[in-house]
Structure 1
Amino acid sequence: MIKAIIFDMDGLMLDTENIALDSWNKAGKDFGYDISRELMIQAIGTTVKDTKKLLIKNMGKEFPFEKVREITMKHTKEYIEVNGVPVKKGLVEFLKYCRTENIPMAVATSTSRIYATELLEKASIIEYFNTIVCGDEVEKGKPEPDIFILASKFLDVEPEECIILEDSEKGILAAARANMIPIWIPDIITDSTIANNNAKYICKSLIEAKDLLKKLNDVI
């Protein structure tokens, strides 16, 4: 029985992954580093701590992660100030449907609390969620299940009663490890053996995911 839905944020609700990839590349060039798109795709769905490990491993011990990340966020914020926060098609309709059906909702994002809250507020969707859990609030990030398990505790529902909506491989794997119901909605990564093998359902968009949820509710 489905009693709650837990949403990832970047790449799932907010169309921000490409912005982030471009911002990392620009910030890297500011410091003389080539931070490729291919490298940063490996960081999708990971916490700041794990992103730091990835970059230092590939860029070297002298890589000034904190400074580069600060400039990365500056580039991203500048883009958003001009263009706003891009939301995925069908998101608001999905959230309104869940509210109408009295389905509790949570956000479980690898992004830090301060930045995640800012994005959700600017996107005008923060009020839909009963709780928000962020990457800097768990010891182990995705693909470990900690963040989803914590979100389900805050929602006061059992893990197996939660649908997880994710765009990343690490998120889908974390949801499966949490004994939840993973729904994969591909974004940057569109071909994934990990996601295919661990997702309970695969949808092309949030519009399709909402239609699936309606069908599942009808079965219940």
Structure 2
Amino acid sequence: MRMVYYKTILEAAKHFEEKKAFLFDMDGLIFDTEQLFMEQLAIVMKEHGYTLTKEFYIQSLGLTGENLKSLMCGAYGEEYPFAELSAESRRRVSIVAETVGLRVKPGIRQLLGWLCEHHKNCAVVSSTHAKYVRKYLEYAGIDSYFKEVIGGDMVERSKPEPDIFLLGCEKTGVTPEEAVVLEDSENGIRSASRAGIATICVPDLKYPGEQVLPLIDVIVTAGEITE
């Protein structure tokens, strides 16, 4: 099937008006947090003598748990203090979320309003720990729009494996054919594709590569997302 392009995330969602459930990634999709987390992780790593590049960070998007640990330790050595640095980075991001707030990405509030009006089931399906997802949604005042929150701590295998989106379907009471995933990362797109779920891609830090583009059903054109 040929990929369809839209200028706004709302237009992209309307393409799937017949779907019953909309499964949202969080970091880089709902909130502009990927850039923030990358900056905080880079600072923490530098304090411990490591250097983080944007190119390498992009490889980690959507990964969690053992998959993320394997990537980091493979690049920086087995002695890399993965748990310590990840926890400290997340702690600093949480401080920003509590004190300054997280920027909800353009078009998200409008989209959630439309989905609510049309009685669609919405869930956040994120690699981030569920407790942080709930906090961030509450801080932004959009938690009431989501029927379920599924975090990376709730599945054994993280993205790009299909487990987390299949759990999202189960929790919202739909089949994969009745759902659509909204994602920004390549690993998230791969995960949704393996789960047999249609995808809307809203690029954030990186436009999808040639191997991922065939897995996308609808894409929001980068740089033209508007409220």
CA contact (8 A) 2:60 2:68 kept: yes
How much has 1:74 moved relative to structure 2?
A: 2.9
CA distance in 1, matches of 2:92, 2:21: 35
**1:30 corresponding residue in structure 2:** 47
Which amino acid counterpart does residue 200 of structure 1 have in structure 2? D
Which amino acid counterpart does residue 67 of structure 2 have in structure 1? D
How much has 1:209 moved relative to structure 2?
A: 10
CA contact (8 A) 1:173 1:198 kept: yes
2:106 to 89, 95, 98: 89
CA spacing shift, 1:48–1:124, aligned 2, 3 Å = farther
Q: Secondary structure at the match of 1:86?
A: coil
1:17 to 34, 57, 73: 34
How much has 1:169 moved relative to structure 2?
A: 0.6
Which amino acid counterpart does residue 188 of structure 2 have in structure 1? G
CA contact (8 A) 1:203 1:209 kept: no
2:115 to 85, 98, 105: 98
CA contact (8 A) 1:173 1:194 kept: no
TM-score normalized by the length of structure 2: 0.86
1:132 to 127, 132, 149: 149
Which of structure 1's runs of 4+ aligned residues deviate more than 3 A?
207-210
CA distance in 2, matches of 1:131, 1:120: 12
How much has 1:48 moved relative to structure 2?
A: 3.4
Instruction: Answer yes or no: is 1:161 the counterpart of 2:178.
Output: yes
Q: Secondary structure at the match of 1:172?
A: helix
Instruction: Answer yes or no: is 1:179 the counterpart of 2:196.
Output: yes
CA distance in 1, matches of 2:98, 2:225: 30
CA distance in 1, matches of 2:225, 2:170: 28
Higher relative contact order, structure no. (Cα contacts within 8 Å, ≥ 6 residues apart): 2
2:93 to 76, 93, 113: 76
Alignment RMSD, CA only? 1.9
TM-score normalized by the length of structure 1: 0.89
Provide, for residues 26-60 of structure 1, a one-character-per-residue CA deviation record: whole Å limited to 9, x for no partner: 00011111122221111111113322111111111
CA contact (8 A) 2:181 2:198 kept: yes
Number of residues of Structure 1 aligned to a counterpart in Structure 2? 209
**1:216 corresponding residue in structure 2:** none
Q: Percent identity?
A: 34
Which amino acid counterpart does residue 207 of structure 2 have in structure 1? T
1:196 to 186, 202, 213: 213
CA distance in 1, matches of 2:134, 2:162: 21
Which amino acid counterpart does residue 32 of structure 2 have in structure 1? D
Which amino acid counterpart does residue 126 of structure 1 have in structure 2? D
CA spacing shift, 1:113–1:38, aligned 2, 3 Å = same
Which amino acid counterpart does residue 59 of structure 1 have in structure 2? Y
CA distance in 2, matches of 1:86, 1:61: 35
How much has 1:78 moved relative to structure 2?
A: 3.3
